[in-house]
Amino acid sequence: MTQNIYDDETFFAGYSRLPRSVHGLDGAPEWPVLRSMLPELAGKSVLDLGCGFGWFCRFAAGEGARSVLGIDVSGKMLERARRETADASVVYERADLESYAPPAEAFDLVYSSLAFHYIVDLAGLFARAYAALKPGGALVCSVEHPIMTAPVRQEWLSDADGRATWPVNGYLDEGERVSNWLAEGVVKRHRTIATYFDLLRGAGFAPGKLVEWAPSPEQVSAEPGWAKERERPFFLLVAASRS
């Protein structure tokens, strides 16, 4: 089973204070790009794998999705999601993505934001996500970029000119990475971009648009503290389709 760090009290308290937890999708700087990768949602069936507080589920309902199913392993997150969701077209279900099997050929879109890098059996999850899509359906997802997850010590270095420099080591050695982000001992899985593609293609998906996301120059102008976040990509955004 995946570590359920979101039900850890310290982690949950810290996560709840992040801009994306307070302000929702508008507090997530990658959202405008991820949104641009989505298909039209009106009238569609949507599955959100790792829905958290349900921001995307409510967005999809607001766009006219016919039904939205949000899955998360965290009871704390789903409790708040249910409390903040009025739309009857949105349903939440608590399940571990390592084993959750959605209904077959039931969805037009499978969406997942920043959840897949926690998953051990991603081949299995991709296969189940593929089977859950109707033919012609789409997967749109984000993960931490492999450049972010690779290093054993995720700490900025300086080059000989003093420029902020992201450390890459262990890139080819995939597997567990333990960080102390918001709480001690948060376990993620490092995978290369090539492996994400192999897993998608192995499940039957045709990879489409790929984005290596970092804040845009305009976002950095508005938030000068983000300047060094353009030195390396932060998230990997991928769209793929079932043919």
Q: Which is nearer to a second copy, 104 or 168 (CB)?
A: 168
Q: Which is nearer to a second copy, 4 or 165 (CB)?
A: 165
Find the shortest distance in angstroms from Cβ 158 to a second copy.
Answer: 8
Q: Which is nearer to a second copy, 68 or 150 (CB)?
A: 150
Q: Which is nearer to a second copy, 62 or 175 (CB)?
A: 175
Nearest CA to 55 among 74, 88, 78? 78
Which residues of this protein are in contact with a second copy, per CB under 8 A? Answer: 147, 150-153, 155, 157, 159-161, 163-173, 192-194, 197-198, 201, 206-212, 214, 230-233
Residues 202/126, Cβ–Cβ less than 8 Å: yes
The Cα–Cα gap between 152 and 119 comes to 18
Find the shortest distance in angstroms from Cβ 195 to a second copy.
Answer: 9
Q: CA 69, 72, 73, 75 torsion: positive or negative?
A: negative
Find the shortest distance in angstroms from Cβ 184 to a second copy.
Answer: 18
The Cα–Cα gap between 236 and 223 comes to 21
What are 123's two structure tokens? Answer: 């081949």
Nearest CA to 200 among 141, 149, 115? 141
Q: Which is nearer to a second copy, 100 or 166 (CB)?
A: 166
Find the shortest distance in angstroms from Cβ 40 to a second copy.
Answer: 20
| Termini Cα distance of the chain | 31
3-class secondary-structure state, position 229: helix
Strands 157-158 and 90-94: unpaired
Find the shortest distance in angstroms from Cβ 155 to a second copy.
Answer: 7
Find the shortest distance in angstroms from Cβ 162 to a second copy.
Answer: 11
Nearest CA to 67 among 80, 77, 52, 57? 57
Q: Which is nearer to a second copy, 14 or 208 (CB)?
A: 208
